[in-house]
Chain A
Amino acid sequence: MTNEIDILDRFLQQFSPEVGGRSSEALTSEMEGKLRQLSAGQLPEQERKEVSRELLTNQNAVDFLLKQLDG
């Protein structure tokens, strides 16, 4: 399964970068706050969808979240 999703993700990054998570839009401070909440397991359920969409399209959001988890 890991291999399959890796393959699909690589394909999308390559052939549909605008939806493959390569967008490099700067994060708003509000979104950063929500990502911090998510990393701490404190993001309200109703906001998770919005944050999830951001994570699917904005690589900066993923990087920010991963950094929170590392810290």
Chain B
Amino acid sequence: MKHGGGTPINGVPLAIPGHFSFARWLTHRPSYEETTLSNIGMEKPNEAPEGKLEEFALIEAALAGDEAAASTIRCPENNARLEAILRNRGASDTEARDIIADLWTDCFDSREGRRPLLEKFSGKGTLNAFLTRTALNRLIDYKRRQKFRGELPGSRDEQRPGDAFDALPGEEATGDSEDRLVGLLRDAMLAAFSRIDPEKLVVLKLVKIHGIDQELAGKMWNWSQSKVSRNLSAVMEEIRAATVSELKRIDPWLELRWEDFVGLCKQSSDLFG
């Protein structure tokens, strides 16, 4: 462990550059019962520069070999939070534990020619959101590989959890602009939209996105304003139901709620926009 003159934490002074405050990091105590992904920083992609600098300072210190900084990032609270998120989205206890254990290893170590995962943190969104998204991508990837292996002739006897986890790809294979989550969200949304009456969808877009008032939309479609209003509510509900149904069809094991879906869509646009 490197020692320096920074803010003491647990009696250990740290060498963190700038105005880094461990207190702010440590005072974040997420509930493990969090029900939506929007509760874990995904809806705050543009954090204040000061907070961002703190995260970068922490990452820089951890990657430089500062054990205390690394321990702060992979603290038991963060570990439990990430495991809980995966369990709540369909991972078994073992899967959640193994995926997050691998995630922590990859955060700090170079393996098989790959850079440490934390070097890829761009600063768009919070570090929590970055870790959560990576964990979800890995869970999706693992489950799909597991299903694929299960469908291969003669592969059932070969299934061993260790093998499957060892086969998890790095984020290089996933690509930064087209990760598993983006593909899943897009496919589910397109399939859902294809089920919706195009007229209802257009009226929804004209009113909610282009700001056409309901009365005018009603005149164009020869609908009463109350019919327009009813349709707006109904079509949104249809989109929700169809999207969740599509998600289930694509990845039946995945427990992703509508709020998660919307949060992940927003985060994807913020991250890759």
- Cα(A19)–Cα(B201), bound, Å: 13
**A residues 1-25 in Cβ contact with B at 8 Å:** 1-2, 4-12, 14-16, 19, 21
- How many residue-residue contacts, CB under 8 A, span A and B? 85
**Chain B residues whose C-beta falls within 8 Å of the C-beta of A39 in the assembled complex:** 220
A11-B269, A41-B220, A49-B199 known; A69+B212 contact, CB < 8 A: yes
Contact across chains for A7 and B266 when beta carbons are under 8 A apart: yes
Smallest CB gap from B268: residue in A? A11
Q: Quote the shortest CB–CB distance from A37 to chain B (angstroms).
A: 9
**Chain B residues whose C-beta falls within 8 Å of the C-beta of A6 in the assembled complex:** 208-209
Smallest CB gap from A55: residue in B? B202
- Cα(A40)–Cα(B205), bound, Å: 18
Residue B239 at the chain A interface, CB threshold 8 Å: yes
Residue B265 at the chain A interface, CB threshold 8 Å: yes
A41-B220, A41-B222, A55-B202 known; A12+B209 contact, CB < 8 A: no
**Chain B residues whose C-beta falls within 8 Å of the C-beta of A66 in the assembled complex:** 210, 212
Q: Quote the shortest CB–CB distance from A15 to chain B (angstroms).
A: 5
- Tell me what chain B mostly uses at the interface: helix, strand, loop, or mixed: helix
A15-B182, A56-B198 known; A48+B262 contact, CB < 8 A: no
Contact across chains for B273 and A14 when beta carbons are under 8 A apart: yes
Contact across chains for B190 and A19 when beta carbons are under 8 A apart: yes
Residue B189 at the chain A interface, CB threshold 8 Å: yes
Residue B185 at the chain A interface, CB threshold 8 Å: yes
Contact across chains for B219 and A41 when beta carbons are under 8 A apart: yes
- Cα(A55)–Cα(B219), bound, Å: 17
Q: Quote the shortest CB–CB distance from B119 to chain A (angstroms).
A: 25
**Chain A residues whose C-beta falls within 8 Å of the C-beta of B202 in the assembled complex:** 52, 55-56
Q: How large is the interface on B (under 10, 10 to 19, 20 to 34, 35 or more residues)?
A: 20 to 34
Query: Interface digits, A24-56 against B, CB 8 Å rule (1 contact, 0 not)?
Result: 000000000000001111010100110011011
Contact across chains for B219 and A2 when beta carbons are under 8 A apart: no
Smallest CB gap from B222: residue in A? A41
**Chain A residues whose C-beta falls within 8 Å of the C-beta of B148 in the assembled complex:** none
A15-B268, A69-B216 known; A1+B236 contact, CB < 8 A: yes
Q: Quote the shortest CB–CB distance from B215 to chain A (angstroms).
A: 11
Contact across chains for A16 and B204 when beta carbons are under 8 A apart: no
Residues of A whose CB lies within 8 Å of any CB of B are 1-2, 4-12, 14-16, 19, 21, 38-41, 43, 45, 48-49, 52-53, 55-56, 62, 65-66, 69
Q: List 25 A-B contacts (CB under 8 A).
A: A1-B236, A4-B236, A5-B208, A5-B209, A7-B262, A8-B189, A8-B262, A9-B205, A10-B266, A10-B269, A11-B186, A12-B189, A12-B190, A14-B268, A14-B269, A19-B190, A38-B220, A43-B220, A52-B198, A52-B201, A55-B202, A55-B205, A56-B198, A56-B202, A56-B205
Q: Which are the 9 A-B pairs with shortest beta-carbon distances? A: A52-B198, A11-B265, A52-B202, A41-B219, A52-B199, A5-B208, A55-B202, A7-B266, A15-B186
